[in-house]
Amino acid sequence: MYVGRYAPSPTGPLHFGSLVAAVGSYLEARRQGGRWLLRIEDIDPPRERPGARDHILRALEVFGFQWDGPVVFQSRRTGHYEAAIQDLLEQGLAYPCGCSRAWLRARGHGSVYPGICRRGTAPHPEGHAIRVRTHDEPIGFHDRRWGPFAQRLEREVGDFVIRRRDGFHAYQLAVVVDDAAQGVTEVVRGEDLLASTPRQIHLQRLLGLTTPSYLHLPLVRDAEGHKLSKQTGAAPLDLERPARTLWDALAFLGHRPPHALREAPVRELWTWALAHWDPTRIPPPRCAVSPSAIPVPTADTRS
């Protein structure tokens, strides 16, 4: 049974790029007769905006998405993330780290953590992060749109943070624990997370979890070429005329619904989309960039 999911963080209201990711994952789940789960990734309170969670749920309803089962909130699942961390610590696969970003930067280290605390760390007044050990064997997977993609984590990312110094669990860990717990078989999301996937596969292997398949969708960019982002204040979805915006999202994903459906009730556009969705129509990656040319979000910025 195919199980897909949509997993927005409540760092702001949904924007057109968020809608594209939701539409792609939803239609792919339904095309395969699968379930589509909704998970609110609310594990980073310092970055969350008041009201964003309710806006997201309302927007998904207005746009006519129908998710299966109850909405899962990551803020209620921290015990599971902590259990995974204890498991990794007990196996010697993770370790406490007292190096702050500022401290590393001042010593000329870039975004790749050089493993300073691998052999132990002195108690630190501001507490410790927990990092997971990486290795230099390539970790690869076949993305359904991008094709093969691999990283050597130790060299390209370094041991990455799974629990931050402020005590919050990192996205990379929570997403892996939850995708497995919810039985997700395919992750369909924006391609900004392509370069996070080898880290997630690494964690799946260390924790003995199954690796789902992956499909990374094209990103919606603004006029300057930056990804639309909730955190940088991309325009919220207009909830007044959902059919027009949904039509645009389908067009962005390579589909051409009849023009008249822009003015029809949104459920008529869904009927068309469910009958015509074809993932091979999604535009291919814009150019053949080598994996190392893709900006890799650092463990700390994604965590």
**Which of 53, 189, 216, 255 is the binder for ligand GLU (CB under 6 A)?**
189
Residue 19 φ/ψ, nearest 5 degrees: -65, -40
Sites for ligand GLU among residues 35-74 (CB under 6 A): 41
CB nearer to ligand GLU: pick between 186 and 269: 186
CB of 10 to ligand GLU, least distance (A): 9
Span from 7-15, 148-156, 158-166, 293-301 in contact with ligand GLU (CB under 6 A): 7-15
Determine contact, residues 31/210, Cβ cutoff 8 Å.
Answer: no
Residue 227 is a catalytic residue? no
20, 1, 150, 74 alpha-carbon torsion, rounded to 10°: 60
Sites for ligand GLU among residues 140-179 (CB under 6 A): 175
**Which of 14, 117, 129, 193 is the binder for ligand GLU (CB under 6 A)?**
193
Determine contact, residues 212/239, Cβ cutoff 8 Å.
Answer: no
Residue 8 near ligand GLU by CB under 6 A: yes
Sites for ligand GLU among residues 88-127 (CB under 6 A): none
Residue 10 near ligand GLU by CB under 6 A: no
Question: Which residue is it, tokens 């997993």?
Answer: 7
Determine contact, residues 248/16, Cβ cutoff 8 Å.
Answer: yes
CB nearer to ligand GLU: pick between 53 and 189: 189
DSSP class of residue 113? Answer: B
> One-letter amino acid identity for 202?
H
Residue 245 near ligand GLU by CB under 6 A: no
Span from 2-10, 26-34, 152-160, 238-246 in contact with ligand GLU (CB under 6 A): 2-10
CB of 7 to ligand GLU, least distance (A): 4
The site for ligand GLU, by CB under 6 A, has a size of 7
149, containing H or E segment: strand 147-151
- DSSP letters spanning 52-63: HHHHHHHHHHHT
Rg over CA atoms, the chain:
20
Residue 268 φ/ψ, nearest 5 degrees: -70, -35
Which of 5, 145, 216, 230 is an active site residue? Answer: 230
Q: How far apart are CA 280 and CA 8, in angstroms?
A: 24
Q: Which residues are catalytic?
A: 230
Residue ranges that bind ligand GLU, judged by CB under 6 A: 7-9, 41, 175, 189, 193
